[in-house]
Chains A and B, each alone.
Chain A
Amino acid sequence: MRRFLLIAVPYTWLLALFLAPFVIVFKISLSDIALAIPPYTPTLDLGAGWEGIKTFFSGLDFENFVWLTQDDLYWKAYLSSLKIAVISTAFTLMIGYPIAYGLARSPEEWRPTLMMLIILPFWTSFLIRVYSWMGILSQEGFLNQFLLWTGLINEPLIILNTSIAVYIGIVYTYLPFMILPIYATLDRLDESLIEAAEDLGCSRLSAFWLITVPLSKNGIAAGSFLVFIPALGEFVIPSLLGGSRTLMIGKVLWEEFFSNRDWPVAGAVAIVLLLILVIPIVLFQRNQQKQAEAEQ
């Protein structure tokens, strides 16, 4: 009985508040927009019995998905989200790897402190961290003030409200997600392997490329997925730093829902986004599983 409750309580919770909502999203994505409350049709009328269910299902169609392919706003938004997520993941890796490497090679007694400093921003508000860049990147912001002062530029650069600001925002906020898994693999790396490679004639650099990088590829993969997956559906960063011209699907969904009140299309946008995410999520799971097996 106890065991049953132990399973049933969290299970029911997730069924009711995680799975059921998805079924509803899927159903609404097949419905049509209507000037009503709720603003879509058909609604299931169980009172009408079998006939009601039949008319309900005949009212569902894939019209909204067809619409997504026809209006170029949507596929442009998907493509631009993918592009932004890929590029910023690459930048995060390029910046995160040397930091993780430096951490793993730092004196042992410093490491807890350095690790704490990496994790600390993660505990501070995401919103505030994104916001902190608004004052830096704006036209009269600190970065432009600094660059004008050094004489590198003559007139302020326009960075805020472009996709460059979005890249900076994503790299900044997701950097700890990249550093931590890479650090974890580098930390476990047996230093005698590098010494053995050097003993066998490798230079420092070639030992790094031939030994360190291949052995940390699990960490690189995990870190990249941890940045890429949330970056793809990101809403806060593009809406605060990206301006109106930066298209990202999370923002489109938000606007479709709150500004246009087109719930069925918002539902369809969500379903397609999920389908796109399934591939990296499955790859990520596989990578984690492989790692777990390798550790056994």
Chain B
Amino acid sequence: MQSTIFAPWEDPEAKPLIRFQNVTKRFGTFTAIDDLSLDIYEKEFFALLGPSGCGKTTMMRMLGGFENPTEGRIELAGKDISGVPPNKRAVNMMFQSYALFPHLSVWDNIAFGLRRDGRPKDEVAARVAEMLKLTRLEKFGRRKPHQISGGQRQRVALARSLAKAPKLLLLDEPMGALDKKLRQDTQFELMDIQEKTGTTFVIVTHDQEEAMTVASRVAVMDEGKLIQVATPDRIYESPENVYVADFIGDVNIIEGRATLEGEETYRIDWAEGEAPLRATSSTRLDNGQSCFLAIRPEKVTISPERPEGAVNAVHGKVLDIAYLGNISTYHVELASGTVIKAQAANTRRISRRSFTWEDPVWLSWTVTGGVLLAG
């Protein structure tokens, strides 16, 4: 049997589970969401990523039914859901603060939604047991929320929101309150649970690493607009603009002017006294158009001599070294004053490191190492 890659967004026949159509949301004179359209497909793990105030939480609250769009429509499985109150939507939400009811036990918290549906007692009990098992909380059913740890509370919140088997689960900064180590474990657990239950997850986060880890697709947002919607690797490797390149990970951005040289190859003149750089781009740029070249530090090679046949090579001296254990980041100052970061794996012990402060070095990268973006 041939396994197909999960990518319903590339299939023109696929019907989206959620469809935002020209949605605008205003609070008074403030526009939180600005004429935004977006499709999310069934079984996706979709991340809304952006700085605080970018509108990602408003998007989620509109899906949950806590806000209604000012203009446009939101469809869930083909039906317009604007105006449907939260208690009548097949959507559940996991709150940032977890919002566990402090006066109810873990068991009763998970059973809360099931009981509202008036399900028979034994069915509720069976479903709660299943949820406790899924989230490894079997021992804690009778505890109150203040009697369990932060990580356990987070799992209770997840179990409670999954108990009603919603079509769509919304997660508002689900790992925000956990410390870094616990967060990483939880991320994988979350992916595992998403896969097991087959529920569509929409997660809101400001942590780009988290979004990249868990999501099948990431939407980068800023000021109420979608900047780019793509898979994590595409967001990282081929950002569509400087904002995305800069927001995700570490990047060197060089500003210059592009001139077409060959098929999809451009020459970039960027600083007085520095040799021009070369990069490829599939989108057309006009001759002399201002442009940005975004290069990830790990794509830059650092060497004592100019490498043979390097397309892009610049000379400078080491200004600073950030030692991160597994890798080191070198800040190299060029003659023009520009500082470029380069990363190298620390395969040798620190005492035998090849470069130190003030060393003259060469930095080089390939013609496809950087991403050329229109200015």
Do A and B come into direct contact in the complex, CB within 8 Å? no
